[in-house]
């Protein structure tokens, strides 16, 4: 039988870990609520903007605007990888890394060079290990700070537009998480440049007026839309991370509860055993004395 003191210590440790995981769960739940609301509200904005772009694209198939329609020859592809800055969020980063691995092998099989932009510290080492000598990796620190997230996204958009127009990269994609519910999220790859999304269900075939003209509209809001897409990916990633953290900390708290029940049982049994043992000894001693 295990030592009582040892058991008591173990129970104490599990109890304090349980307190930490429960607190983390509560914090994540509060943060998740905010992040979820933001991501969901923003989805409509991003969707409507992309929808307008798709409508313009449908009505101007011959417009020669690379930022919007993409380049035919792609030799370098930029990957914006959205991971988390902090750990203890279950398999959140693992799922992103798995998705990235798929994209990396696909791009290499097609003979493309890669340029990584790592957003979130947790996957930096992972990406660095997969880097070939002729490839580049950038790291964005403190990207997710909520008060600066929108500006950071725009700055990143400006940077990638510069890289694209100067010819350093020919295609930009995001690898990140799409938030569905606290229990459910999916990792996905989304194209940022070309900015055009899949053709929308757009049955309106009437003549359309563009003011001032298609070229000026594209020039004005395609760069903006790139920033919007990055911001949306970041919001989805933050919500996904908090959801993942909340569910994994909930699981950890439950495991701690199970462990505590089992350990308390064992502790009580041991205690009873020890008392019985002592009683037996006392009784045996007393009866020996009576006989004597």
Partner 1 sequence: MKAKILTPEEKLFDGEVGRVILPAVEGEMCLLPKHISLITILKKGLIRIFKPGSEHPIIIKSDGGICSFFSDNAVIILGDFDFDN
Give the footprint of partner 1 on this chain (CB under 8 A): 41-42, 44-45, 48-49, 51-52, 55-56, 150, 154, 157-158, 161-162, 165, 204, 206-212, 216-217, 220-221, 223-224, 227-228, 231
Whether a cis peptide bond, with omega within 30° of 0, leads into 195 is: no
State which residue, 84 or 153, has the beta carbon closest to partner 1: 153
Nearest distance from C-beta of residue 17 to partner 1, angstroms: 39
Q: Indicate the pairing of strand 76-82 with strand 113-119.
A: parallel
Q: Under 8 Å CB-to-CB from 58, ≥6 apart: which residues?
A: 199, 200, 202
CB of 227 to partner 1, least distance (A): 7
Beta strand pairing call for 184-193 and 171-181: antiparallel
Shortest Å distance, C-beta 209 to partner 1: 4
The SS3 call for residue 35 is helix
Of 220 and 257, CB closest to partner 1 = 220
Tell me whether residue 51 or residue 270 sits nearer to partner 1 (CB atom): 51
C-beta of 228: minimal distance to partner 1 in Å?
A: 8
Give strand ranges (E) for 120-170.
136-140
H-run or E-run covering 175:
strand 171-181
Q: Which is nearer to partner 1, 96 or 157 (CB)?
A: 157
Nearest CB to partner 1, comparing residues 209 and 289: 209
272 CB-near residues (< 8 Å, 6+ apart): none
Going by C-alpha positions, the residue among 60, 51, 74, 76 that lies closest to residue 195 is 51
Nearer to partner 1, 69 or 92 (CB): 69
Closest separation in Å from C-beta 55 to partner 1: 7
Please report how close the Cβ of residue 45 comes to partner 1 at its closest, in angstroms: 5
Identify the CA nearest to 88 among candidates 11, 20, 147, 32.
20
Distances, alpha carbon 290 to alpha carbons 78, 92, 123, 278, 279, in Å: 91, 71, 76, 18, 16
Q: Which is nearer to partner 1, 32 or 57 (CB)?
A: 57
Residue 37: CB minimum distance to partner 1, A: 10
Strand order in the sheet with 136-140: 136-140, 113-119, 76-82, 171-181, 184-193
């Amino acid at each position: 039988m295990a030592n009582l003191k040892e058991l008591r210590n173990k129970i104490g440790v599990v109890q304090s870990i349980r307190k930490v995981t429960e607190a983390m769960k509560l914090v994540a739940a509060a943060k998740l609520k905010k992040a979820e609301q933001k991501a969901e509200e923003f989805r409509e904005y991003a969707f409507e903007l992309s929808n307008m772009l798709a409508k313009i694209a449908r009505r101007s198939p011959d417009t020669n605007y690379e930022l919007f329609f993409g380049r035919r020859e792609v030799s370098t592809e930029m990957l914006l990888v959205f991971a988390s800055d902090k750990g203890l969020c279950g398999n959140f980063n693992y799922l992103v890394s798995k998705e990235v691995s798929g994209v990396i092998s696909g791009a290499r099989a097609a003979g493309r060079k890669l340029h990584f932009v790592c957003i979130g510290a947790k996957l930096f080492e992972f990406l660095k290990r997969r880097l070939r000598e002729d490839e580049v990796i950038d790291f964005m620190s403190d990207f997710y700070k909520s008060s600066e997230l929108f500006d950071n996204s725009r700055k990143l958009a400006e940077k990638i537009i510069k890289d694209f127009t100067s010819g350093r990269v020919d295609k930009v994609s995001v690898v990140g998480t799409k938030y569905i519910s606290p229990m459910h999220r999916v990792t996905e790859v989304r194209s940022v440049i070309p900015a055009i999304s899949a053709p929308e269900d757009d049955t309106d075939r009437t003549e359309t007026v563009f003011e001032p003209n298609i070229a000026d509209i594209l020039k004005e809001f395609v760069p903006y839309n790139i920033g919007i897409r990055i911001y949306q990916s970041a919001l989805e990633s933050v919500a996904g991370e908090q959801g993942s953290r909340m569910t994994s900390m909930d699981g950890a708290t439950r495991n701690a509860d199970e462990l505590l029940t089992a350990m308390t049982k064992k502790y009580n049994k041991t205690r009873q055993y020890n008392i019985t043992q002592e009683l037996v000894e006392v009784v045996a001693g007393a009866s020996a004395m009576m006989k004597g």
